[in-house]
């Protein structure tokens, strides 16, 4: 009597480092399984990879850096010449206030991603 054929008969080999093996075993323990083949298969087929587009973050960082630079220039002017024009202060306040809305929205979106 011959053995029944395997349902999964194509082997896939992956080489990992000892540190990666420790991480893999820790994740398996977190998942409550000790079958490495089943765990890797489940993660490869049903797991997901997050690819986050950080271009809005880069844009907000750029705007924040500009705002900080303008604020620094106003501080230098105030310390050098003893004052700053009220229009300049109003423009700085407007620029900084305009950053808070998009920044708050972006942080909410990032918090939702982290919850996944």
Question: What's the pTM?
Answer: 0.46
The pLDDT tens digits of the residues spanning 19-52 come to 999 999 998 888 888 899 888 988 889 887 666 6
The pLDDT tens digits of the residues spanning 63-91 come to 888 888 888 888 888 888 888 888 888 88
CB 24 within 8 A of CB 16: yes
List, as one string, the DSSP characters of 17-74: -HHHHHHHHHHHHHHT---HHHHHHHHHHH--------HHHHHHHHHHHHHHHHHHHH
**pLDDT at residue 42 in the model:** 87
> Which DSSP state fits 34?
-
CA 114 to chain centroid, in Å, comes to 8
In angstroms, how far is the first alpha carbon of the chain from the final one? 49
């Amino acid at each position: 009597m011959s053995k029944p054929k395997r349902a999964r008969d194509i082997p896939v080999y992956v080489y990992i480092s000892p540190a990666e093996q420790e991480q893999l075993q820790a994740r398996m323990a977190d998942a409550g399984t000790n079958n490495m083949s089943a765990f890797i298969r489940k993660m490869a087929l049903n797991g997901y990879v997050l690819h986050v587009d950080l271009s809005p973050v880069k844009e907000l960082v750029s705007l924040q850096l500009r705002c900080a630079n303008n604020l620094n220039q106003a501080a230098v002017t105030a310390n050098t010449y003893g004052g700053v024009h009220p229009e300049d202060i109003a423009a700085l306040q407007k620029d900084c206030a305009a950053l808070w809305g998009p920044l708050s929205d972006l942080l909410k979106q990032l918090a939702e991603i982290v919850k996944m």
